[in-house]
Amino acid sequence: MSSTTSETGKAVPGRLASVYSEVQSSRLNISLPLPSVLKTSFNVVDGPPSSAAGNPDGIAKLFPNLFGQPSVILKAGDSGAATKDGSLKIGVVLSGGQAPGGHNVISGIFDYLQERAKGSRVYGFKGGPAGIMKCNYVELSTEFIYPYRNQGGFDMICSGRDKIETPEQFKQAEETAKKLDLDGIVVIGGDDSNTNACLLAENFRGKNMKTRVIGCPKTIDGDLKCKEVPTSFGFDTACKIYSEMIGNVMTDARSTGKYYHFVRLMGRAASHITLECALETHPNIAIIGEEVAAKKQTLKSVTDNITDIICKRSKLGYNYGVILIPEGLIDFIPEVQQLISELNEILAHDVVDETGMWKKKLQSQSQELFELFPQAIQEQLLLERDPHGNVQVAKIETEKMLIQMVETELDKRKHEGQYNGQFKGQSHFFGYEGRCGLPTNFDANYCNALGYAAGALLQSGKTGLISSVGNLGAPVEEWTVGGTALTSLMDVERRHGKFKPVIKKAMVELEGAPFKKLASLRDDWALNNRYVSPGPIQFVGPTANAINYTLLLELGVQA
């Protein structure tokens, strides 16, 4: 779009009838910097034998062929090993929710193979793991990939949430691998999908098939990470998009002087997004679910904490503010879990009528909690149940609930003469807006490198590794490239009576640098208005290559 453009956008052939904005077009043809090691000849060097994150004996039993294999790193050098295989046939699949940069992982794999294994073929499985099972794929070409370069979304091949779990499903995957004569599959996904990738790798290896499997760390939630995999892709972009909006709302709050904005942010399991957005924008309050759980806070104490700060701010003349809330907040509150399980039990057997007799079956703590909920939430809990008749916690709009609970508490304090301010709550949920944005320079570069790494690992015959790009605080040229044994990230969990391998979600560490930074600053933020407006993501100029605070702090780059 410019003052001389004569059409609203530019037609780009190939991407489902798409028309591109000027910004989208400008991103198509940028050249991405690569880690130096990927620009020369390299050797894939094994590290020491690996173990597991927990329960190594259990993991060894579940992965007899893969357990203990070393993680690897690429080192410049010319052993010729990297090109030993000639051309390859590789499948790639996107698994789970969207994250900015997914298309770049795919183009990275493709470009690597074009450069280093000429004549290779890349198949994109459509609609997630179901595409593997159904052998539903498209062969990727330069022309096919082009319109998706550095673009948001997963629409090149789309994603899905199916899992390859049952013996029949593994059989289907084997058939597809054989039919397409696959040398490898790259699974781009979160913790569950990478666990699944490892099971697939184990299964192929156990059957002496040549098909290798490499994972790539994807999730905007930022909860798939470890020493070797410093961050999951998409987190950087999503947090910056949310932070742009939060910064705008903060400026509005300060200009208007009369609203409390309660902003719920995506991230059901871990609160990394809320923490990162807080470090970027300096809200008056940021609730971190992991802290709520660790301190065994109740819903009443969470509400009271918010209300206390609102009262103090009112005395300073500020009847406005911004409060960040993680999507999964109420899942972190033990008493809520207790109430829900009691409710499910009661609803299965009793008549829930207006006499309220059924309430007497609740334990006293649960009864108190239920009465604390605003009426609309009570009704929602009782009426809107899932197909199994269970209460749907996920449907509760936590930000609206908190606004009502804070209102009630403020009214009480007003009557008691402890508060005489004005309170108007505005609710926001920032979620879908962030999952498919144009990837930041960081995510674009990181994903490209992850894709190249996956290509290199497959070419060198590796399986059961997750593509690992490190030293991310340094310029891209200095990034390290390798693969980490997926089994080394795993622990065993008992689910539905069975032992299952799991990659544990990386939760916010209360002793970690990002949370400690928040903890050291939040009292100041609460009462003084230290709002920061990060503004829109820039792709060129001095601010274009910034990376997120969480990563900087975890890398120790930042004090």
Active centre residues (catalytic): 221
SS3 512: coil
- Shortest Å distance, C-beta 443 to its own copies: 13
CA gap 132, 185 in Å, rounded: 9
Identify which of residues 205 and 517 has a Cβ nearer to its own copies in the complex. Answer: 517
Residue 273 is which amino acid?
Answer: I
Q: Which is nearer to its own copies, 140 or 456 (CB)?
A: 140
C-beta of 338 vs 533, nearer to its own copies: 533
CB 431 within 8 A of CB 380: no
> Closest CB to its own copies among 114 and 533?
533
Residue 6 or 31 having the CB closest to its own copies: 6
At what angle are helices 272-281 and 235-256 packed, to 10 degrees? Answer: 50
**What is the nearest approach in angstroms of its own copies to the Cβ of residue 200?**
23
Q: Do residues 336 and 404 lie in contact, with contact meaning Cβ atoms separated by under 8 Å?
A: no
Distance between alpha carbon 452 and the CA centroid of its chain, in Å?
Answer: 21
Structure tokens at 395: 């449907």
- Cβ proximity to its own copies: between 15 and 212 the closer is 15
Distance CA 381, CA 404 (A): 16
Q: Which of left, alpha, beta for 189 (phi over 0: left; psi -120 to 50: alpha)? A: beta
Exposure b/e, 140-165, CB count within 10 A at least 16 = b: beeebbebbbbbbbbbbbebbebbbe
Q: Can you read off the two tokens belonging to residue 75? A: 């080192």
Q: Which is nearer to its own copies, 252 or 368 (CB)?
A: 252
277 DSSP β-pair partners:
none
Closest contact distance (angstroms) between CB of 96 and its own copies is 11
Helix or strand run (H / E) with residue 168: helix 167-179
Identify whether the C-beta of residue 203 lies closer than 8 Å to the C-beta of residue 196. no
- DSSP-derived secondary structure for 356-414: -GGGGGS-HHHHHHHHHS-HHHHHHHHH-B-TTS-B-GGGS-HHHHHHHHHHHHHHHHH
Instruction: Please say whether the beta carbons of 139 and 122 come within 8 A.
Output: yes
Nearer to its own copies, 8 or 364 (CB): 8
Question: How distant is the alpha carbon of residue 198 from its chain centre?
Answer: 19
CA dist., res. 445 & res. 105, Å (int): 9
Coil, strand or helix at 7 = coil
Task: Please state the φ and ψ torsions of residue 109, each to the nearest 5 degrees.
Answer: -60, -50
Please give the backbone phi and psi of residue 316, each rounded to the nearest 5 degrees, phi first.
-85, 0
CA–CA gap between residue 347 and residue 340 (Å, rounded):
10
Residue 208, both tokens: 């002496």
User: What span, in angstroms and rounded, lies between the C-alpha atoms of 345 and 361?
Assistant: 10
- Shortest Å, Cβ 555 to its own copies: 9
Give the separation between CA 513 and CA 550, rounded to whole angstroms.
8
Residues 6+ apart with CB under 8 A from 108: 447, 448, 449, 450, 451, 452, 453, 454, 455
In terms of CB distance, is 293 or 527 closer to its own copies? 527
Report the nearest approach of its own copies to the CB of residue 75 (Å).
24
- Rounded to a whole number of angstroms, the minimum distance from the CB of residue 298 to its own copies is 29
Task: Provide the minimum distance between the beta carbon of 84 and its own copies in the complex, in angstroms, as a whole number.
Answer: 37
With both helix axes pointing from N to C terminus, report the angle between 398-415 and 299-315 in degrees, rounded to the nearest 10.
60
Residue from 438, 455, 452, 457 nearest 540 by CA: 438
Q: Which is nearer to its own copies, 204 or 531 (CB)?
A: 531
